Amino acid sequence: MKNLKSDFYSQFPSKKYLFMGSLVFLFIITSCSVKLYEPSAETVSTNANLTKLKQGKELYINKCAECHSLKQPEKYSADKWVKLVKVMSKKAKINDDQASLILQYVTKGERS
């Protein structure tokens, strides 16, 4: 009698390729989205205001991803972020208060 099960699988790409395909797929999904830290007592500098950092995170996500993907806060030093946010806030057409909140978030409460 014919082996139905192996006939069935021979119609499809081998499991090895399915597995490799899903790895590629997962890689694409994860490389398109940055994982932004969540402000908490553990993740930010000691006397940072968590409420403001959370507002900063929201603004960062909503105002700074229009032209390019979001950059990891850890990618630049606080000094560098001060300059970047100054330049980018003009591009993003946000006011000084919003820029200050975003700066607080990306510098983990070190600058505002």
Q: Which is nearer to ligand HEC, 21 or 91 (CB)?
A: 91
Q: From CA 34, how far away is CA 106, in angstroms rounded?
A: 13
Q: From CA 93, how far away is CA 42, in angstroms rounded?
A: 32
Q: Which is nearer to ligand HEC, 44 or 100 (CB)?
A: 100
Token digits for 60? 């960062």
Q: Which is nearer to ligand HEC, 54 or 71 (CB)?
A: 71
Distances in Å between the Cα of 79 and the Cα atoms of 1, 7, 82, 106 are 74, 63, 5, 11
Q: Note the residues at the interface with ligand HEC (CB under 6 A).
A: 63-64, 66-68, 71, 84-85, 88-89, 91-92, 94, 102
The nearest distance, CB 87 to ligand HEC, in angstroms, is: 7
The nearest distance, CB 48 to ligand HEC, in angstroms, is: 18
